[in-house]
Structure 1
Amino acid sequence: MMAAKGELSARDKRLRINSITLRDFRAFPGPDEIVINLNTQHKQGCNLLLYGENGAGKSSLFEAFRGLFARRPKLNFFKNEKNVFSGQPDKDARVLVEFTDGKDPAVWTISDHPGKTGGDPRVLLTALRAVMLDYRALLDTNYGQGRKRPNLFDIGMDLLLADWPVVGRGTLGELWRDTQAAKPKVGWNDTKVKAACADFNTEFAAAVDALTPIAQDLLKDLLGDAVVLDQLEYGTVRYVNAQQRRDRIFEGRLLQPRITYRTHGLEQPQFFLNEARQSALALAIYLAARLARLIHEPAALGRAGFDVSVAA
């Protein structure tokens, strides 16, 4: 539907970034600030392609966005990324993002993150939708797996499905940490950890089942019918209550893509598919995790009173 004359369209109402300011962050040493305008008069609502020579600051800008729009902000992320040559005090380092809503900018410093619980809803909602990927994240799904059949379980718990909502239990990532913590510290009573494994398996299966058809559709959009994601196969996690402490482990930690290329099943797709197809597969899985998360809990987008169509 077209907007009436003088009114903004739904596209124009969407929350966007006007500018990002960096001071003493990686390649941008203090005390000077670098202001990068992203929403100028002639470039409103456009995608941005960033290019430049080695050391120009491309990775620094990427890390600034990734650190600011993190779903689970890491405590020392900024401190570890502060420019080491400036000699400026920690308190002066900052990353500042100004949005198109006319409100005060979001400010990230070494001591405070605007996306922490109860923080800036714009940062929280953007983090919910964001997919910050670099070449290393893509490699983790294929060549980073070595010569074994790829197992994405750890990636799933650290990134893909870490913030998948579990009713009354927080997130799937938190549920997995609780499951690991439920193993007996002393003695042989494994009742608690068995129950924790059962709960985790139920929620893990639901999350993967929701993600899989979206990943299949995305991969088809990217590669057509040549490469097919038949299934994301997952295991049943159980605790091995062995006599020797070193043998007390969680078995069944599996999340393995089953791939077919032109009717030929691939046990090790990282050694069969070319780099472009492997990247497409990784992108499909990562993006599907984000989309499935949004579809699964649309109410998450309105927690701060945002219109979903505006925040999109």
Structure 2
Amino acid sequence: MTDAAAPAAPPDAPRLRRIEVTDFRAFPKDHPGGFDLGDSGCNLLAFGENGSGKSSLYRALRDLFQTSEHDIRPYGNVFTDGPAPRVKITLTDGTVFDWTTAHHPYALVTDIARRSSFLTHTALRELIYNPAGPDQPNNIFRIAVDELIDDFDATLEGGVRRSVGELWTDVQNAFKAEVTTSKGKRRPQYYVRDLEAKCASFNEGMRQALERIEAEAKRLLRKLLDVLGVDPLDLVGLTFPQLVYSEADKAILNQTLTAAVRVRTHNVVAPQSFLNEGRQTALALALYLAGRKVCAPPGRAELKLLVMDDLLISLDASHRRPVLDLILSEFEDWQIILLTHDRYWFQLAREQVKASGVWKAVEVFERFDGDGLLVPLVRPTEGDLAEATLRQAEAFLTDNHPHAAANYARSGCELILKRFCVKKAVPFPYFEDERRPDLQALLDAAKAHVVGDAPRQKALSDLEAHKRFVLNPLSHDPANPVPTADVAAAISAVREVAKACGKNYP
């Protein structure tokens, strides 16, 4: 007798294949933004300096994938005559979501919106910033019920399933309930009984949600913090005293939710005042990502989007890689879009994801069009990152942007020298803020390592002539750009270093 065949796994859900943003904020009608994610719907890693259009992409996705209709007209590009903003998404199965001044496809995207997550560093800070005072526990109740766990499905008595958001709406509706009589408006019969019943249902839904989130957040926090050793910060638990209706106060009491944390043996009352920036960010990330994981269904049968804009700007280099590791491992069945203005983090992230084959990397930067208007340009960065960086430096030089070309040449030089030092186990320091390596220190370390190796010594020594000016970020004044010939010579010198260090970039 043979076992029955296991049921076939459901097919993967369609994913985003192309994003088109036209006449929308930074993208004017004549220079739309197009982001191709391939026939399989890859994840996207995008770099863009402030003002280049990166955040316009974020807002386009965030406000398209909504559960209610949004007006696109306020997003029209101010330099377009007769603005007609448009955001168009094409899925891998050919489905199109088209947001225009005439229509928002919220009815088609509601399910995707409920399963998706859009997060910026500013929104993340709300989980750990307390406007009530620096010495008070941070109350995240409203953030939790409105965003963090609003779509958590709870199972109530009788098998009834309601989301936390729906249960909270039930409480609010019961609290505001009125009936009209010949003498005017008054509370309905059994008002207190009905409101207390709604509070009880909400409390049960919150209990189920917080029980799962607490366990998940504790696990994720360890993965984020225990990078260089066991970190002393612990999430003790989430404290929710449960809603009660007070007839004396005519109010719903206990609308509070706080995270109890401990550092070694010290119970922290106000994490926002006691913890450093890195631990605050790790705590907020653990809570937020735990909320998204327990609310969304597992697997690939339904499209889930995780879109993050400049999320890691408060973390040093040593703690950025574990965040990316966590996102890649814990959200591998989501379609992920990561946006950043930090070029060094973009380099680290691209190096980390390039071998997976499921990522596309692009750069969004500004250039002048024929009318002298700064417009965004989306450029894929395929292949080797150092080579792509040097090619972009040359492209900027061709377009008469020596300032930008010098910046890219410096980034390419840093990446090549860092790779060489890492490969040869040559120690080198970072700047004090730990966000990027010190180029002079990299150069000195590499030169010390190749003593006696004449070709490499010459290539590294020739680079010294360009380190002080072209490859020095403090000397890049757009009002007084470096000579084109000097930048071209610096790029050539960087390529010679790449060749001497074992990689020939043509």
Q: TM exceeds 0.5?
A: yes
The Cα of 1:208 is off from its aligned counterpart by: 0.9
Aligned to 2:277: 275
CA distance, structure 2, for counterparts of residue 128 and residue 173 of structure 1: 11
Pairing partner for 2:80 from 86, 89, 102 = 86
Contact kept? 2:17, 2:41, Cα under 8 Å: no
Q: Is structure 2 residue 148 aligned with structure 1 residue 160? A: yes
Contact kept? 2:25, 2:56, Cα under 8 Å: yes
TM-score by length of 1: 0.77
Pairing partner for 1:215 from 208, 214, 217 = 217
In the superposition, relative to structure 1, how do residues 62 and 232 fare at CA in structure 2: closer, same or farther (>3 Å)?
same
Provide Cα deviations, 1:123-175, integer angstroms capped at 9, x if missing partner: 734x3443211011111012244422111100011100111224546421122
TM-score by length of 2: 0.49
Aligned to 1:22: 21
CA distance, structure 2, for counterparts of residue 187 and residue 18 of structure 1: 52
Pairing partner for 1:265 from 267, 277, 295 = 267
Partner AA of 2:289 in structure 1? L
Identity of aligned residues (%): 36
| Greater radius of gyration (CA) | 2
Provide Cα deviations, 1:97-128, integer angstroms capped at 9, x if missing partner: 22333x13222234433342xx25xx734x34
Partner AA of 1:229 in structure 2? L
Contact kept? 1:233, 1:257, Cα under 8 Å: yes
The Cα of 1:26 is off from its aligned counterpart by: 1.7
Pairing partner for 1:58 from 33, 49, 54 = 54
CA distance, structure 2, for counterparts of residue 161 and residue 300 of structure 1: 21
Aligned to 1:175: 167
Contact kept? 2:130, 2:139, Cα under 8 Å: no
Aligned to 1:34: 33
CA RMSD of aligned residues (A): 3.1
In the superposition, relative to structure 1, how do residues 263 and 87 fare at CA in structure 2: closer, same or farther (>3 Å)?
farther
Contact kept? 1:169, 1:175, Cα under 8 Å: no
Provide Cα deviations, 1:218-238, integer angstroms capped at 9, x if missing partner: 011001242211101112101
Aligned to 1:235: 241
Aligned to 2:289: 287
The Cα of 1:266 is off from its aligned counterpart by: 0.8
CA distance, structure 2, for counterparts of residue 154 and residue 178 of structure 1: 15
Partner AA of 1:140 in structure 2? E
Partner AA of 1:33 in structure 2? P
Q: Is structure 2 residue 138 aligned with structure 1 residue 150? A: yes
CA distance, structure 2, for counterparts of residue 79 and residue 208 of structure 1: 39
Partner AA of 1:113 in structure 2? H
Contact kept? 1:24, 1:88, Cα under 8 Å: no
Aligned to 1:3: none
Partner AA of 1:181 in structure 2? N
Partner AA of 1:130 in structure 2? S
Q: Is structure 2 residue 100 aligned with structure 1 residue 109? A: yes
Partner AA of 1:88 in structure 2? G
Where 2:288 maps in the other structure, the secondary structure is: helix
Single out whichever of 248-257 and 187-196 deviates more from structure 2: 187-196
Partner AA of 1:211 in structure 2? I
Where 1:265 maps in the other structure, the secondary structure is: strand
Aligned to 2:122: 136
Contact kept? 1:179, 1:200, Cα under 8 Å: yes
In the superposition, relative to structure 1, how do residues 254 and 97 fare at CA in structure 2: closer, same or farther (>3 Å)?
same
Provide Cα deviations, 1:204-228, integer angstroms capped at 9, x if missing partner: 1111111110111001100124221
Where 1:132 maps in the other structure, the secondary structure is: strand
CA distance, structure 2, for counterparts of residue 15 and residue 142 of structure 1: 35
Pairing partner for 1:256 from 255, 258, 268 = 258
Aligned to 1:5: none
Where 2:46 maps in the other structure, the secondary structure is: coil
Contact kept? 2:239, 2:259, Cα under 8 Å: yes
In the superposition, relative to structure 1, how do residues 259 and 86 fare at CA in structure 2: closer, same or farther (>3 Å)?
same
Single out whichever of 78-87 and 228-237 deviates more from structure 2: 78-87
Aligned to 1:124: 111
